Structures are given as C-alpha cells and as structure tokens.
C-alpha cells in the first residue's frame, strides 16, 4: 500500500495536492454558518447516490412510472427508504442552498473579490430548483401531474414566446408521455452534468480565493468602496493576516463541515424512515376536482399568484421571477460599499427582512389554504367511488353538507347538516346506503330528502355510499374507523 | 448525532466557559451558537488525551463520514443488490398439448405456450417453448426449448434425427437429451411431465445457462 502511494506520488505529486487542498490555511474564527456550502455538497452527493439506484427501478412512461415506483417501494429491499431519502434530500438541497445564500448575503461575502462565485451560486440555485420541478413530475401521480400542469401553464403566460415555451417544456401541446421522458432526461442527464460542472467551478474558486473571513477582518481601515483603486491592496493585506492567524483546512474545518453534514443526513434518514415520500393515486387528467399543489418551496410564489388580480397575473407570473433573477445577478455590481457587517448595511438588512418575511407570510397563507385532507385523502378511488363522487356533486350534497377539500360553497340559507369530512370513520357503507334511501326512518325529523328510487337507483346509492366511506379526513389512511351504526327498529306490519 | 457526546464525559473540563476566555468575539457575526461550538473544539484542544487536538478532529471527521456513508450507502447497496437474491418464480403446471393422440410418435414436436408472468412492475406474458418426445404415446419427455450452451432455440434435424442448435452447432440426443457434439456443457434440461385426461402438462423452468451443473437460473 505504502509503495503504491509512493509510486503514484512520484508521478502526480500527491503531497502537492495535499498542500493545496487539505493543508491550506483558513482564516480564523469561521462560524458554523460557514459549513452550509459543504452540507449542500454532501446532500448533492446523497442525491446522486440514491438517484442512480432509483433510476434502475424507474420507467419514464405514463403507463408504468407509478407502477415502477410502487414496485420499488413494496418489493425492492430498502426501496422505500431510498426514495424517502431522495425525496427529503430535494427539500434539503433547497433549504441549504437558500441558507448558504443568506449566509453569504449577510456577511457581504458576495463583494470583492467573490462576485463571480456569487453569480455561479445564483446559477446553482436555479439548477437546484430545476431539479425540484422536473423531479416532482416523475412519480406520475395526481400531485405530480397537476402541479406540472400548473407549472408549465405559468411558463405559457410569458409574452410573445409563451405558446412556444409551454410546448417546448411539454414536448408537445399536451402534458403527457413526451413530457415525462423529457423531464426524466433533464433530471437525470442534463441537470446533474450542469450542476456538477458549476459546482466544480464554484469549489475551484473557493480554493483559489479562500473562504470569506468574518466581516470584522475586512472592515477595519477599509476604503469606502470596493471599487476604490486601493481596495485590492487593503483586501490582500487583511486577508493574508487573517489567514496567518488561521487554522488548516484539514482536519479543523473539515471536522466541523462533516459534523453538520452528518446531522443533515441523519435528519434525512429519519424523515425517510418515519415519514416517507408518499405516492398518490395515478395521474387522472379527467379529474378536475383535484386541487393542484406545487412542492412547498414553490408555494410562496404560487400563493402570490393567487393574490394578484387576474389581469396582472401574467405580468407577475413572469415578471416576479425575472425580477428576482435580475436582482440577484446585479447585486454584487450595484452594492460596492466596503461595509460587510449586516448591522451597518441597513438597506441590505431591510431587503432581507422584506424578502424572508414576505416569503414566510405567503408560505403561511398557503399552508392555511391547504385543503384539509378532504376528499379521499390517501385512499385510491376505484371506478364505483369515482362515480359516487360525481353523484355527490350532481346531487349538490355540498350545498348543505360541509366537506373539507371540496370546493363547493355552502349555501347561506341551507339547513345545517352534518360535516361529512370524516364520515367514513363513523359509519359503514351498509349503514350509509340504507340511510340515504330514507333518512326519515333513522331520524323522523331529519331535513334530509330521501334519495331512494326513483330519485337515485340502488346502483347509484351504492356508488355514493362507497364514495362516502372513503372520506376519512386528514391522514385518513392511517386511521381506523370506529363505526357508530345504529339501525332503526324494523317496522312491524300492522295487524 | 453522537460524534461529540461520546468524548465529552472523559474530559473534566467545563462545557461552557465565558466566551472571552476562548477568543474575542467582537465582530458582529451572526453565528448563533458558534461560540459554544468553538468552545467545544478549543476545549478539546487543551485536553491531555493521547489523541491530541488534531487526532480528535480526525476521529470526529472519520466518525461523521462513516455515519453519512452508512446511512445512505447501506440502503443504496441493498437496493442495488436486491435482484441478486430475488426468489425464483414459482413453477406451475402448464398445459402444452390438448390431446396425446394428436402427437407424433418417434418424432419430437416443439410446443410454444404463453405464460402470464409478472415482469417487475409490468403484468406481462412470457412466450416459451418445450420439445416433447414420445416413443409409445404414453410416456413423454419434455425438454426446455433453450440450448444449454447460451440459450438459443434449437431445432430438430430430420435427417440425422438429432436436435441441432444453429448458433454453435451443438447436438443433442432426442431420447435422452445427452450432448452428442459441440460446445453445450450439459444435456438438455428435462422438465417434469404429467398426462391428465389425455392433455399434456409441463412444469416449465429455466436453468442457468453455460454451466455444467443444472442450477436455478
């Protein structure tokens, strides 16, 4: 082993690589916030590892995509766990990239000489969001289908090129087989290569320029602006001094990085193990009652679109993301003050508060609007149940009964009727069937009309009851029904 | 996470010290908890352990890297290797001929059949074939339709009265399935046959190809 190392060392100068990469001095007093970049890199490697194995069990075709994922989850050893890690890993990527970006912003680390690396980082953010958008479609379940329907339609509102853009994204005029193949190719071929290359550049620059030190180091005696001619000289002097009093990258900094990375990975593992990734009913383009929802990190934007009036929607849908991209790209060139501490940058602090506060408020509003697991959450509807749901609408059951998740408005003058959100936990299908036929038999003063023939056929009543028993409220798939069925005394024939 | 606590009890040092004793935190960094964290690392540096400060940090790095590799690597490798230990499909009796009276005597006949077979996530149907041979119309021999060399479909040579595989000229005896010539490493794979109500049933099974022993595919 030692001779092998020596043999390679003679040829490629391992010691030199070690000096450049591992032994390099880092400025002293780096914070735990400085570990966010390496934590993101770790999760990226986790995503690559889990993604390669997931791809082996995945068929990018509407006929088989969801079946292949079911197969992975039910048949393949550790399959569900692996998919869970990948699922939560995507959220972790977004969270960590944003947190890393906020760290760089608050410490003014995008300023001289790291403007290029800021731009590369902005690119990485959008590549990561691209991963999230393309990956979300792949399970080809209801959630995937409808979120992508909305997502691609937003692109379609772009002025002039919208029509062409939406067809380009979908690989045709309809969301379908071509879209799925296209998103799969982007997700597993183009984006990983792109992200890998930009990450390499990003890291190469970090090694070349050194990590940004604590803000105080670069503030004492600094010229007013980073564009001043003497700023470069000041910077080099201060930075070398901070490195002289610093610590080597290995093991001092790497240990810290790995501690944070390990905490992140353990969290991912626990989320995958105990929450999992979820898989909804197969995509059903004819089901117009489904309320589309994007992945949570797109929710603030989604919520914003709900708030603007229809006439402005197209402008906001395209203008808002474009404005964010533009603001991020010009930031290091507009902000050339040499002050780095956020305390002495009121404008930057204000912008950060507005952006983070606004996003949190929108996210909160979106969470409040979330359909409360109404409908048949988590349970797959067969054809009988689906006809039952259609009957529920046609008979306007929702004009008296409340059913969370269904959009129908309750009429103001309608009589009070029981909330049906969790009716499937309370009554059996048989009980519901006979109740629908003639409610007065159960409650003599019931205001509910009888739906027995000729209003509805026995077949239709059965379909309606079968739909109603699937209503179990939020998290219904995990709850056990406790039936409280009481049947009226059979009517005795008169003597 | 477990990297730290394992070590801390050994130290007799207080976990928290006034931060100014460690380093001056005059700058306005927003490191929430960074002071405490650095206190930990610097405290450890003063430990009189055989490991020393660098050794400890190396140990922490190694332990955390191992945790990451295990939590992701183990499920990934398990899922990757899962097919290697997958159970073979269960065999079922398949009807290959309706009436024994219609089968030639002394000349083998190839019978193709379609079998419902789950192909991973696809409910698929597999087409396979067997060669059936009888000398008296009562007892039958059935051979798996694949050559034992590399799995080509072999044919019956009427002139030589042997099975011949077109791929590498392997030859098999019709009565026993024994190798007469060519590269096949073992005789043809004979399958269990049953005759019920004049219909012929075969328990179809594929075996590993290209090896001298007959083992599960």
Instruction: Name the strand (E) or helix (H) holding A346.
Output: helix A346-369
- Who has greater pLDDT, B23 or A101? A101
Q: Averaged over B9-13, what is the pLDDT?
A: 42
Record: contact B79-A342, CB cut-off 8 A? no
User: For residue range A324-344, what is the model confidence (pLDDT) as tens digits?
Assistant: 999 999 999 999 999 999 999
* Neighbour-count burial for B73-105, b at 16+ CB within 10 Å, e otherwise: eebbebbbebeeeeeeeeeeebebbeebeebee
Question: How sure is the predictor about B2, in pLDDT bands with cuts at 50, 70 and 90?
Answer: very low
Record: contact B67-A215, CB cut-off 8 A? no
Interface test with A, best of B72, B81, B85 (most A CBs within 10 A): B72
**CA A124 vs CA A96, A202, A439: distances in Å:** 12, 9, 61
Record: contact B64-A85, CB cut-off 8 A? no
User: For residue range A255-310, what is the model confidence (pLDDT) as tens digits?
Assistant: 999 999 999 999 999 999 999 998 988 888 877 778 888 889 999 998 888 888 87
All structural domains of chain B with their residue ranges = 19-84, 93-203
CA distance A220 to A73: 58
The CATH classification of domain B93-203, taken from the options 3.40.50.1110, 3.20.170.30, 2.102.10.10, 3.40.190.10: 2.102.10.10
With an 8 Å Cβ cutoff, the interface of chain B facing chain A consists of 1, 3-4, 23, 25-34, 37-38, 41, 54, 57-58, 60-61, 64-65, 67-68, 71-76, 78-80, 82, 120-122
Total length of chain A = 495
Which range is most confident: A90-104, A288-302, A437-451, B117-131? A90-104
Reduced 3-state DSSP string for A255-316: HHHHHHHHHHHHHHHHHHHHCCCCCCCECCCCCCCCCCCCCHHHHHHHHHHHHCCHHHHHHH
Instruction: State how far residue A372 is from chain B, nearest Cα, in angstroms.
Output: 32
pLDDT (0 to 100) of residue A424: 83
Asked whether the beta carbons of A462 and A384 are under 8 A apart, the reply is: yes
Interface test with B, best of A262, A266, A273, A282 (most B CBs within 10 A): A262
- Whether omega before A113 lies within 30 degrees of 0, making that bond cis, reads yes
pLDDT (0 to 100) of residue A274: 95
User: For residue range B149-169, what is the model confidence (pLDDT) as tens digits?
Assistant: 999 999 999 999 999 999 999
- Bridge partner list, B126: B115
Record: contact B82-A77, CB cut-off 8 A? yes
Q: Averaged over A85-111, what is the pLDDT?
A: 96
**Scanning the structure block, which residue is given the tokens 């290697």?**
B84
Record: contact A258-B120, CB cut-off 8 A? no
Structure tokens at A229: 């001619």
Instruction: State how far residue B39 is from chain A, nearest Cα, in angstroms.
Output: 11
Instruction: Name the strand (E) or helix (H) holding B199.
Output: strand B199-203
pLDDT (0 to 100) of residue A79: 95
Residues from chain A that touch B120, judged by Cβ atoms under 8 A, are 57, 68, 71
**Scanning the structure block, which residue is given the tokens 């992140």?**
A264
Residues from chain B that touch A77, judged by Cβ atoms under 8 A, are 78-79, 82
pLDDT (0 to 100) of residue A314: 81
Instruction: Name the strand (E) or helix (H) holding B126.
Output: strand B122-134
In chain A, the residue whose alpha carbon lies closest to the alpha carbon of B61 is A255
Q: How many other β-carbons are positioned within 10 Å of the β-carbon of residue A209?
A: 13
- Bridge partner list, A226: none
Which range is most confident: A28-37, A49-58, A206-215? A49-58
Instruction: State how far residue B6 is from chain A, nearest Cα, in angstroms.
Output: 14
- Based on its alpha-carbon atoms, the radius of gyration of chain B, rounded to whole angstroms, reads 35
Interface test with B, best of A42, A61, A242, A259 (most B CBs within 10 A): A259
Q: Averaged over A97-115, what is the pLDDT?
A: 95
Interface test with A, best of B28, B73, B123 (most A CBs within 10 A): B28
Phi (first) and psi of residue A200, to 5 degrees: -60, -45
Which range is most confident: B81-85, B114-118, B122-126? B81-85
Record: contact B31-A33, CB cut-off 8 A? yes
Nearest to A402 by CA among A388, A390, A416, A420: A420
pLDDT score of B24 more than 70: no
Record: contact A265-B67, CB cut-off 8 A? yes
Question: How sure is the predictor about A380, in pLDDT bands with cuts at 50, 70 and 90?
Answer: low
Dihedral angle over CA of B62, B67, B73, B79, nearest 10: 160
pTM metric for this prediction: 0.71
User: For residue range A123-182, what is the model confidence (pLDDT) as tens digits?
Assistant: 999 999 999 999 999 999 999 999 999 899 888 888 889 899 999 999 999 999 999 999
End-to-end CA distance of chain A: 103
In chain A, the residue whose alpha carbon lies closest to the alpha carbon of B68 is A262
- Who has greater pLDDT, A197 or B22? A197
Instruction: State how far residue A82 is from chain B, nearest Cα, in angstroms.
Output: 6
């Amino acid at each position: 082993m030692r001779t092998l190392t020596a043999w390679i060392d003679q040829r490629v100068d391992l010691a030199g690589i070690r000096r450049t990469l591992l032994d390099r001095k880092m400025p002293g007093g780096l914070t735990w916030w400085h570990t966010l970049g390496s934590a993101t890199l770790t999760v990226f490697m986790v995503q690559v590892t889990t993604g390669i194995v997931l791809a082996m069990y995945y068929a990018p075709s509407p006929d088989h995509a969801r079946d292949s994922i079911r197969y992975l989850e039910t048949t393949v050893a550790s399959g569900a766990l692996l998919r869970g890690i990948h699922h939560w890993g995507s959220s972790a990527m977004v969270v960590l990239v944003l947190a890393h970006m906020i760290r760089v912003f608050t410490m003014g680390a995008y300023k001289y000489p790291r403007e290029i690396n800021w731009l590369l980082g902005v690119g990485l953010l959008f590549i990561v969001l691209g991963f999230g958008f393309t990956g979300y479609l792949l399970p080809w379940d209801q959630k995937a289908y409808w979120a992508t329907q909305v997502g691609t339609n937003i692109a379609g509102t772009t002025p002039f090129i919208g029509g062409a853009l939406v067809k380009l994204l979908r690989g045709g005029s309809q969301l379908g087989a071509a879209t799925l193949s296209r998103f799969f190719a982007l997700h597993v071929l183009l984006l990983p290569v792109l992200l890998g290359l930009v990450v390499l550049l990003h890291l190469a620059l970090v090694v070349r320029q050194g990590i940004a030190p604590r803000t105080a180091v670069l503030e004492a005696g600094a010229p007013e602006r980073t564009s001043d001619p003497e700023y470069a000289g000041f910077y080099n002097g201060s930075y070398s001094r901070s490195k002289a009093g610093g610590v080597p990258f290995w093991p001092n900094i790497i240990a810290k990085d790995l501690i944070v990375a390990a905490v992140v990975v353990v969290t991912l593992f626990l989320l995958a193990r105990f929450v999992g990734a979820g898989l909804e009913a197969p995509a059903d383009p004819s089901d117009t009652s489904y309320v589309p929802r994007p992945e949570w990190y797109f929710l603030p934007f989604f919520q914003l679109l709900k708030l603007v009036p229809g006439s402005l929607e197209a402008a906001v849908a395209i203008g808002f993301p474009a404005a964010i991209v533009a603001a991020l790209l010009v930031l290091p060139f507009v902000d050339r003050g040499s002050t780095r501490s956020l305390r002495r940058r009121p404008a930057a602090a204000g912008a950060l508060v507005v952006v983070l506060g606004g996003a949190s408020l929108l996210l909160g509003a979106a969470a409040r609007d979330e359909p409360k697991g109404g409908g048949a959450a988590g349970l797959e509807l067969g054809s009988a149940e689906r006809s039952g749901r259609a009957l529920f609408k046609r008979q306007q059951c929702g004009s008296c009964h409340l059913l969370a998740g269904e959009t129908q408005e309750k009429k103001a003058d309608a009589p009070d009727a029981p909330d049906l959100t969790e009716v499937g936990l309370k009554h059996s299908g048989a009980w519901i069937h006979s109740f629908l036929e003639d409610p007065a038999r159960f409650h003599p003063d019931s205001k509910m009309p009888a739906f027995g023939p000729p209003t509805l056929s026995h077949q239709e009543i059965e379909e309606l009851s079968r739909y109603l028993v699937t209503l179990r409220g939020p998290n219904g798939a995990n709850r056990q029904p406790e039936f409280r069925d009481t049947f009226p005394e059979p009517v005795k024939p008169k003597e | 996470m477990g990297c730290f606590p394992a070590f801390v009890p050994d130290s007799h040092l207080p976990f928290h010290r006034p931060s100014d004793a460690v380093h001056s935190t005059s700058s306005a960094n927003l490191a929430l908890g960074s002071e405490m964290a650095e206190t930990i690392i610097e405290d450890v540096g003063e430990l009189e352990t055989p490991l020393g400060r660098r050794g400890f940090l190396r140990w922490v790095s190694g332990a955390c890297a191992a945790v990451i590799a295990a939590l992701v690597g183990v499920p990934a490798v398990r899922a990757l290797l899962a097919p290697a230990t997958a159970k073979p499909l269960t065999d079922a009796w398949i009807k290959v001929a309706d009436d024994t009276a219609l089968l030639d005597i002394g000349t083998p006949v190839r019978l193709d059949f379609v079998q419902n077979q789950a192909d991973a996530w696809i409910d698929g149907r597999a087409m396979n074939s067997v060669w059936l041979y009888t000398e008296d119309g009562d007892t039958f021999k059935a051979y798996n339709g694949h050559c034992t060399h590399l799995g080509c479909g072999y044919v019956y040579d009427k002139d030589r009265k042997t099975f011949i595989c077109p791929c590498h000229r392997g030859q098999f005896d019709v009565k026993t399935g024994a190798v007469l010539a060519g590269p096949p490493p073992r005789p043809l794979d004979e399958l269990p046959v049953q005759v019920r109500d004049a219909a012929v049933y075969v328990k179809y099974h594929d075996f590993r190809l290209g090896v001298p022993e007959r083992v599960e595919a």
